[in-house]
């Protein structure tokens, strides 16, 4: 299981980290409380942005939908980035399927990038890894 050493400052802010998830933060926001009846504004663009992030770290761990009655498999767990924000690969699923609302700062950031996740260079990825994982 990939556990992120949570960065205390806002060097690389993290979106998601819901406490109900095995890879979430114990003090993180509630996934169930973030579920909305209707999809958020620009949901399609937001989901595409989340899926287009650059993989910073990959695992062979499978993640399951903790909100589905059957605990369906979502896919592999990866840590993604746009060079500034960090998120786990299952976040797009929760936004798409369960209309989960995200931190408005992240949404504004994605909108500011015209809903296109920037490509992160290998050099920048290595620098991020050093800062995050030591």
For 6-45, the pLDDT digits (tens) are 444 578 999 999 999 999 999 999 999 999 999 888 999 9
Q: How many CB atoms lie within 10 A of CB 130?
A: 9
For 63-122, the pLDDT digits (tens) are 999 999 999 999 999 999 999 999 999 999 999 999 999 999 999 999 999 999 999 999
**pLDDT on residue 9:** 54
Whole-angstrom CA distances from 38 to 43, 95, 101 are: 10, 10, 10
Widest distance between CA atoms in the chain: 42
Pick from 90, 95, 87: nearest CA to 76: 90
Q: Does the predicted TM-score (pTM) go above 0.75?
A: yes
Annotated domain spans of the chain: 31-133
């Amino acid at each position: 299981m990939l556990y992120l050493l949570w960065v205390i400052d806002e060097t690389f802010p993290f979106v998601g980290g819901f406490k109900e998830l095995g890879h979430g933060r114990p003090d993180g926001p509630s996934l169930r409380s973030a579920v909305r009846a209707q999809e958020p504004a620009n949901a399609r663009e937001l989901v595409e942005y989340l899926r287009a992030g650059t993989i910073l770290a990959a695992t062979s761990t499978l993640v399951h939908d903790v909100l589905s009655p059957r605990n369906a498999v979502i896919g592999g767990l990866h840590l993604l980035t746009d060079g500034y924000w960090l998120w786990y690969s299952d976040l797009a699923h929760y936004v798409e399927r369960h209309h989960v609302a995200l931190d408005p700062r992240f949404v504004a950031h994605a909108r500011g990038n015209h809903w296109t996740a920037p490509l992160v260079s290998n050099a920048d990825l290595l620098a991020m890894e050093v800062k995050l994982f030591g």
